[in-house]
């Protein structure tokens, strides 16, 4: 879907992105992560031509991006950023409808789309549609920003630290919503963050940048278990490595299926991460917990001991 071939970008004679070769497949969730100033935002902005690359080639849907008019490209790619950029004198509805208006969609279609997006992002349409940005909390504004980026059903969603300024609880909720949207819509998403746990939670594929170059790219599990250099190991590892590995796997993967449970502890969901399960074991001071599926049907038992004896690189 998006292909970088030996792309470079210089500012004032200095290379800030060097020789970047990347492929973002259709429907894939790619996270660009790296140290501050490593070129993440510049890489993202080169995709919708907010920044023009000066060497190499960037292809979108098989065509060099220069072949598209910048405005056409931007209409095919939603863009959500940390500072939100909502228009202050426009209502939530008008803000979300920015691109559909430009595309001259019929009024009824725009109204329905705004309703659909507000519901998707857990904002009650009746309550929020006619509000102005200053009447929203920071988290609600960010949701509207994401809804606006999704409004015209773009093929690609570009997100630059979209949850950057939020408290951890709101941030986690929005991450879950974006993960859910990705699951439902199979949009191609490219997200910039410097939050390792956010990257691990959301990415199909992580690209780690340092000093304008790719240090390693791969699945979250590959980067955690097979770091290409000490830099990668230090970046992802540190003292939280074990917890991060557990965060990549679900309770269902270690559940002893069909085993009966006779205790009285509340059950774990099979889709919960093993790191969340670990927290329950510690908080409840137990060795075993029952596991249920989404419908609440018993599946078996998770044993605390299995978290440490099972290989986590499976």
Residue closer to ligand ATP, measured from CB, 45 or 113: 45
Residue closer to ligand ATP, measured from CB, 208 or 268: 208
Q: Is residue 290 at the binding interface for ligand ATP, with CB under 6 A as the rule?
A: no
Q: Report the half-sphere exposure of 209 (CA within 13 A, side-chain side).
A: 28
Do β-strands 55-60 and 2-11 pair in parallel, antiparallel, or remain unpaired? Answer: antiparallel
d(CA 183, CA 213): 30
Report which of 191, 157, 213 is spatially closest to residue 7, judged by C-alpha positions. 213
Distance in Å, CB of 42 to ligand ATP, minimum: 3
Distance in Å, CB of 5 to ligand ATP, minimum: 19
Q: Binding string to ligand ATP for residues 26 to 65, with x set by CB under 6 A, is what?
A: --------x-xxxxxxx-----------------------
Q: Is residue 11 at the binding interface for ligand ATP, with CB under 6 A as the rule?
A: yes
Cβ proximity of 302 and 255 under 8 Å: yes
Residue closer to ligand ATP, measured from CB, 46 or 110: 46
Interface with ligand ATP: number of residues (CB under 6 A): 12
Q: What is the DSSP-derived secondary structure letter of residue 31?
A: E
Burial class (CB in 10 A: 0-12, 13-18, 19+), 285: exposed
Which of 194, 233, 256, 303 lies at the binding interface for ligand ATP (CB under 6 A)? 194
Q: Binding string to ligand ATP for residues 237 to 276, with x set by CB under 6 A, is what?
A: ----------------------------------------
Helix (H) or strand (E) holding 90: none
Q: Which regions of 129-212 does DSSP assign to beta strands (E)?
A: 156-160, 188-193, 205-210
Residue ranges that bind ligand ATP, judged by CB under 6 A: 11-12, 16, 34, 36-42, 194
């Amino acid at each position: 879907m998006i292909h970088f071939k030996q792309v470079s970008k210089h500012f004032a004679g200095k290379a800030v992105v060097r020789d970047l070769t990347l492929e973002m497949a259709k429907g894939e969730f790619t996270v660009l992560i790296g140290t501050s100033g490593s070129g993440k935002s510049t890489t993202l902005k080169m995709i919708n031509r907010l920044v023009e690359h000066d060497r190499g080639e960037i292809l979108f849907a098989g065509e060099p991006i220069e072949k598209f008019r910048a405005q056409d490209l931007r209409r095919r790619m939603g863009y959500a950023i940390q500072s939100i950029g909502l228009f202050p004198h426009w209502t939530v509805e008008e803000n979300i409808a920015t691109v559909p208006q430009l595309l001259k969609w019929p009024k009824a279609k725009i109204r329905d789309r705004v309703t659909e997006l507000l519901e998707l992002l857990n904002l009650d349409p009746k309550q929020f549609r006619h509000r102005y940005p200053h009447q929203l909390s920071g988290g609600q504004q960010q949701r509207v920003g994401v809804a606006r980026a999704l409004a015209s059903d773009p093929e690609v969603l570009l997100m630059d630290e979209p949850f950057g300024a939020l408290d951890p609880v709101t941030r986690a909720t929005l991450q879950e919503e974006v993960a859910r949207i990705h699951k439902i819509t199979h949009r191609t998403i490219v997200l910039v963050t410097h939050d390792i746990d956010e990257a691990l939670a959301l990415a199909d594929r992580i690209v780690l940048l340092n000093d304008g170059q790719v240090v390693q790219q791969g699945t979250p599990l590959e980067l955690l278990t097979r770091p290409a250099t000490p830099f990668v190991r230090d970046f992802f590892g540190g003292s939280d490595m074990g917890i991060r590995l557990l965060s990549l796997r679900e309770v269902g993967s270690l559940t002893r299926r069909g085993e009966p449970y006779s205790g009285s502890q509340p059950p774990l969901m099979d889709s919960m991460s093993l790191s969340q399960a670990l927290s329950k074991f510690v908080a409840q001071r137990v060795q075993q917990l029952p596991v249920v599926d989404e419908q609440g049907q018993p599946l078996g038992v998770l044993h605390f001991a299995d978290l440490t004896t099972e290989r986590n690189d499976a």
